[in-house]
Amino acid sequence: MKEKIIALMEEVLQLPSGTVSESTRMEDLEEWDSLAHVMLIGELETRLSISIPLDEAVEITSVQEIFEKAGLK
C-alpha cells in the first residue's frame, strides 16, 4: 500500500518515479502546495479508498503522516 500511495503522489504531482519517498515532507517539494494537497487527499479517497477526515487532512505535512492516517505504521 505504501508503494501505491507514493506512486499516486508522484502521478498527481506530475513528478518522475523515485522523487517521493517515505521521508518526503511538504516543504521538500515545490509541486506539493496547498492546491496539490487537496488533489492528493481527494485522490487517496477516490482511488485507494483512504478516507482522511477534512480537519485532519489539512494538518498533514509529510508522507509519514499520510501513512499514519492511512493506518500504515
Binding site for another protein (CB under 8 A): 11-12, 14, 34-36, 38-39, 41-43, 45-46, 51, 54, 57-58
Minimum gap (Å) between residue 29 Cβ and another protein: 14
Q: How far is the CB of 16 from another protein (least distance, A)?
A: 13
Q: How far is the CB of 1 from another protein (least distance, A)?
A: 18
Q: Which is nearer to another protein, 14 or 23 (CB)?
A: 14
Q: Quick one: three-class SS letters along the chain? A: CHHHHHHHHHHHCCCCCCCCCCCCEHHHCCCCCHHHHHHHHHHHHHHHCCCCCHHHHCCCCEHHHHHHHCCCC
